[in-house]
Amino acid sequence: MAEFCTCGTELVPGARFCHKCGRPVREEPAVGEPESVPPPPGPAFGGPAPVQIGFNDRLAVRISLLAAAAGLLLSSFPISPWLPLALMLAAGALSAFLYSRRTGQSLSIRAGMRIGWMTGVFAFVLSMVLMTIALALLPASGEALTRALREQSGLPEQMAERALEIVRNPVELLLSLVLGFLSFSVTAALGGALGARVFGRH
C-alpha cells in the first residue's frame, strides 16, 4: 500500500524523508541520556582497615622507644647472659600490646612483627649509644680498663677481656655489631608477633 506525505507526494517504499519537501515520514526515536556508569565498588564497610605501622607513625615510634628503653633498663641487671634476649622478646610483645590498646585495633601477626622489629632497632641504637658513653668514661687501657668494665657490666673477668678484644679488633667489632643488631631486631620482632597473636584475641 502506497504511503503519501502530508504534502501529497507519494513516498518511496521504506523512505524516511519525503524526497520533495524533506519532511520526515516517521519520527526518530529520541536519543536517551547516556546511562550512568555505577561507581566502582569501594571498600566494604564494617571491617577495620589494615594497620600500617612504620617509622612515620608517631605513636608506633613513641611506643617502640618506650618498650626498648624499658627492656634495656631491666637488662642492665647482671642476672643471666640470656636476659637481654628474653627482655627483647618481652619488649616486642609489650609494644604490640600498647599499640593495640592505644589504637583500639587488633594487630595482625605482620603488624606485630613490624612494631616489634622497630622496638629491636631502637633498643640496639640506644645500647650502642650507652656503650659508647661507657667506654669513653672508662680508663684508657690496661688492667684498670678490664677491672672497670667488669665492675660496670657485671661480666666475669674472661668475658670482660673478650669484650675488650672485640672492641680493639675492627673486623670482630663489625661482626659483633651485625650479630647484635640481628639478635635484637629478630627477637623483638618475634615478641611483637607473639604479642599480636595473644592480645589480638581480646
Q: Give the dihedral sign, CA 19/22/23/27.
A: positive
Q: Is 95's pLDDT higher than 80?
A: yes
Give the pLDDT of residue 88.
Answer: 92
Question: Would you state the pLDDT for residue 47?
Answer: 46
What H or E segment, with its residue span, contains residue 180? helix 170-199
Q: What is the mean pLDDT of residues 79-91?
A: 82
- Domain spans of the chain, in order of start: 58-199
Q: Rounded CA gap, 104 and 54, in Å?
A: 17
Residues whose CB falls within 8 Å of the CB of residue 6, separated by 6 or more in sequence, listed in order: 23
Q: Is the pTM of this model over 0.85?
A: no
pLDDT in tens, 104-122: 888 899 999 999 999 999 9
Half-sphere CA count of 21, side-chain side, radius 13 A: 11
Strand partners of residue 87: none
More confident residue, 8 or 152: 8
**Contact present, 123 and 68 (Cβ < 8 Å):** yes
Residues 6+ apart with CB under 8 A from 134: 152
pLDDT for res 24? 77
